[in-house]
Amino acid sequence: QFLQNIIAHPIFMAGEANVDFIKDHPELFKFKARQDRATKVLGFLGNVIVNGNPDVKGQLDPKRDLRKPRLPEVDASSPLQAGTKDKLTELGPDGFAKWLRAEKQIHYTDTTLRDAHQSLLATRMRTFDMLKVAESYARMHPQTFSLECWGGATFDVALRFLHEDPWERLAKLRKAVPNILLQMLIRGANGVGYKAYPDNLTERFVQQAAETGIDVFRIFDSLNWMPGMEACIGFVRNKTDRLAEASICYTGDILDPKRNRKYSLDYYLRLARQIEEAGAHILCIKDMAGLLKPYAAQELITALRNTISLPIHLHTHDTSSLQAATYLKAVEAGVDVVDVALGSLSGLTSQPNFNSIVEMLRGQERHREFNQESLNEFSNYWDTVREYYYPFESGLKAGTSEVFQHEIPGGQYSNLRPQAAALGLLDKFETIKHTFADVNQLFGDIVKVTPSSKVVGDMALYLVSNNLTTADVLQKGESLNFPESVRELFRGDIGQPEGGWPQDVQRVILKDEQPFTDRPNEHLAPIDFEQEWQNFEAKFGQRGKFTDVLSWLLYPKVFEQYWAHVQEFGDVSVIPTKAFYYGLQLGDETLIEIARGKNIIVGLQSIGPVNEDGCRTIFFNLNGQTRNIEIRDTA
């Protein structure tokens, strides 16, 4: 543009400009070849066609029927109805919390865009598939309490495996859904990662997430340790005008005398009071493994409603297939919001079935009306889309009451099977589950949710793969090298458990290392953001967006790889999922919106043989014109 302006300038055209500098510096005319977006997209597709998408490689089933999903019917001309987002803007967070607590009809959080696919499909759901239905969902179901769509593992997975910018996903969803609260899961002091971050990084992260679109911050600590949550609650309350929803992670069974000595009703009520005092607007009961049975829910929710004045939001996983009954009892006991997932992405390790839970309560005084036909259309959409992600299915077929014994969180349980398979331990899957429960006892019976659950899982896999039992830990521990994550846990890196660590186990794991009991974040220097902007620029050669700097600070290595991918292939989030994972078949065509309103149609014409440089020439048809591209065959 700058050069064009110079050339078109009247003085330049009249030949009166002093152009000696330009004349004397021919290097000014050496332009770095800038690949256009379409070429980068072809480069990505070419690579998938020749070498496969590494994320699904070796797991392809040629017989799979990958149909085009049918979009739900929606009257796009009807005005968008006001929803909970408008209510929050109208009342502010404290007023909103009071309003919610006084609501008679039950509210629903739809977790389809976060926990459901994190628990069923290894978090692989792409922005592309979400955006196809986000706006129509906002039109058809404006009475939904919130859409959980961000945080947890989605941040890491978006960058690492989908090569997408999680911030862009959030911004786009916000734009598509202006009327319903958007919700995220944040692991307190561990943010959206697996370790403690400096407080001022979490603070800026929270502010930026609110600015980009998050309304409800569901905050938890993986050991139910209040100091791990307090700072984050404060950031949401004091630095944003959004809702701080702090969680009690539910473990054990308050009605089982064998399991309720440590995790008793009193324990949960004490935590709830502390959460209210810390300034949360909403209390979440986060039942990450699906252990809260119906009568326990009745007792817990009743007692909580009598103890605190916050609204109560219940989250569970349907691993046992019992949790619809839990919701029924919780609704009767006065719970304010329950988490559900659209039918085709519900059940098993995901949340209970939205469509069916609405029907369960029809006729009950707290029933909230939804357009059931439309909910079913959305469910059918996801049913077809789910097929695209078949390599990420966990292979679990039915609910299991074993979960009450091993207490493995939903998302982790569906992951554990493929993890065991990758280590060649699938035939020991039963032993791994039992060992998980044994490790929990060895560790002193702790709360197990990311990241503490991951450490218990690491230890279980370590023991099973080395043919060891938990009894060996104390007997032979001095000569064993435990996984790094186990050492970090016992050192205090992710906080303190109720009642402290068992000292004999701690000694054998840490050996000479000294544990600490204060907040791990206190040991971390605050981030100097000005300096980090400069470091970013020095490393990546451009200033970047602030959200890029944040992603880099949270996940340095993952971000570097993501960045390199973007430089080479551009924004791949716009590529339809079938083409993204499986490339194109000869004769296939796909439409790609490479920029707003700018579409290209890409067809695959032919794939050439490997030449002497180890490359193949791929002939594409791009908007009716042949384009060929060289791809190295790495097979």
Kindly list the residues in this chain that would bind Zn ion in the complex (CB under 5 A): 115, 288
Minimum distance of ligand 3PY from residue 117's CB (angstroms): 11
- Can you tell me the distance from the alpha carbon of 224 to that of 135, in angstroms, rounded to the nearest whole number? 36
SS3 content of the chain, % helix, strand, coil (to 5): 50, 10, 40
Q: Which two tokens stand for residue 339?
A: 């988490």
Q: Which residues contact 191 (CB under 8 A, 6 or more apart)?
A: 197, 201, 202, 205, 554
- Can you tell me the distance from the alpha carbon of 268 to that of 272, in angstroms, rounded to the nearest whole number? 6
Q: Which does 470 bind (CB under 5 to 8 A by kind): Zn ion, ligand 3PY, none?
A: none
Q: x/- site string to ligand 3PY, residues 381 to 410, per CB under 6 A?
A: ----------------------------x-
Of the two residues 348 and 618, which places its CB atom closer to ligand 3PY in the complex?
Answer: 348
Q: Which does 153 bind (CB under 5 to 8 A by kind): Zn ion, ligand 3PY, none?
A: ligand 3PY
- Can you tell me the distance from the alpha carbon of 312 to that of 324, in angstroms, rounded to the nearest whole number? 17
Q: Which does 449 bind (CB under 5 to 8 A by kind): Zn ion, ligand 3PY, none?
A: ligand 3PY
- Cβ neighbourhood burial of 375 (10 Å; 0-12, 13-18, 19+): buried
3 state SS of 234? helix
Within residues 433-462, the interface with ligand 3PY by CB under 6 A covers 449-450
Minimum distance of Zn ion from residue 553's CB (angstroms): 26
Of the two residues 247 and 590, which places its CB atom closer to Zn ion in the complex?
Answer: 247
Q: Which residues contact 573 (CB under 8 A, 6 or more apart)?
A: 126, 127, 128, 162, 163, 164, 165, 168, 169
User: Using the rule CB under 6 A, which residue among 107, 141, 187, 406 binds ligand 3PY?
Assistant: 187
Minimum distance of Zn ion from residue 421's CB (angstroms): 23
Q: Which does 415 bind (CB under 5 to 8 A by kind): ligand 3PY, Zn ion, none?
A: none
Of the two residues 110 and 377, which places its CB atom closer to ligand 3PY in the complex?
Answer: 110
Minimum distance of ligand 3PY from residue 248's CB (angstroms): 13
How many residues would you count in the chain? Answer: 635
For tokens 């554990």, what's the residue? Answer: 416
Minimum distance of ligand 3PY from residue 234's CB (angstroms): 20
Q: Does residue 288 touch ligand 3PY according to CB under 6 A? A: yes
Alpha-helix residue ranges (DSSP H) falling in 243-392: 265-277, 294-307, 323-332, 354-360, 372-388
- Can you tell me the distance from the alpha carbon of 204 to that of 219, in angstroms, rounded to the nearest whole number? 15
3 state SS of 19? coil
Minimum distance of ligand 3PY from residue 146's CB (angstroms): 16
User: Using the rule CB under 6 A, which residue among 50, 153, 420, 464 binds ligand 3PY?
Assistant: 153
For tokens 């690579």, what's the residue? Answer: 47
- Can you tell me the distance from the alpha carbon of 215 to that of 230, in angstroms, rounded to the nearest whole number? 18
Minimum distance of Zn ion from residue 139's CB (angstroms): 27
Q: Which does 570 bind (CB under 5 to 8 A by kind): Zn ion, ligand 3PY, none?
A: none
Of the two residues 220 and 482, which places its CB atom closer to ligand 3PY in the complex?
Answer: 220
Minimum distance of ligand 3PY from residue 354's CB (angstroms): 18
Within residues 544-603, the interface with ligand 3PY by CB under 6 A covers none
**First vs last Cα of the chain: how many Å apart?**
43
- Asked whether 250 and 291 are in contact (CB, 8 A), the reply is yes
Q: Does residue 313 touch ligand 3PY according to CB under 6 A? A: no
Distance set, CA 456 to CA 409, 463, 548 (Å): 11, 11, 32
How many of the other CB atoms lie within 10 Å of CB of 616?
20
Minimum distance of ligand 3PY from residue 447's CB (angstroms): 11
Of the two residues 350 and 577, which places its CB atom closer to ligand 3PY in the complex?
Answer: 350
Minimum distance of ligand 3PY from residue 151's CB (angstroms): 7
Of the two residues 115 and 129, which places its CB atom closer to ligand 3PY in the complex?
Answer: 115
- Can you tell me the distance from the alpha carbon of 413 to that of 437, in angstroms, rounded to the nearest whole number? 13
Of the two residues 115 and 493, which places its CB atom closer to Zn ion in the complex?
Answer: 115
Within residues 227-266, the interface with ligand 3PY by CB under 6 A covers none
Q: x/- site string to ligand 3PY, residues 98 to 137, per CB under 6 A?
A: -----------------x--x-------------------
Q: Which amino acid is at 207?
A: Q
- Asked whether 604 and 587 are in contact (CB, 8 A), the reply is yes
Q: In sequence order, what DSSP letters do the residues of 453-497 get, joined into one string? A: HHHHHHHHHHHHHTT--HHHHHHHGGG----HHHHHHHHTTT---
Q: Does residue 185 touch ligand 3PY according to CB under 6 A? A: yes
Q: Which does 473 bind (CB under 5 to 8 A by kind): Zn ion, ligand 3PY, none?
A: none
Minimum distance of ligand 3PY from residue 289's CB (angstroms): 9
What does the binding site for ligand 3PY look like in residue numbers (CB under 6 A)? 115, 118, 152-153, 185, 187, 288, 409, 411, 449-450
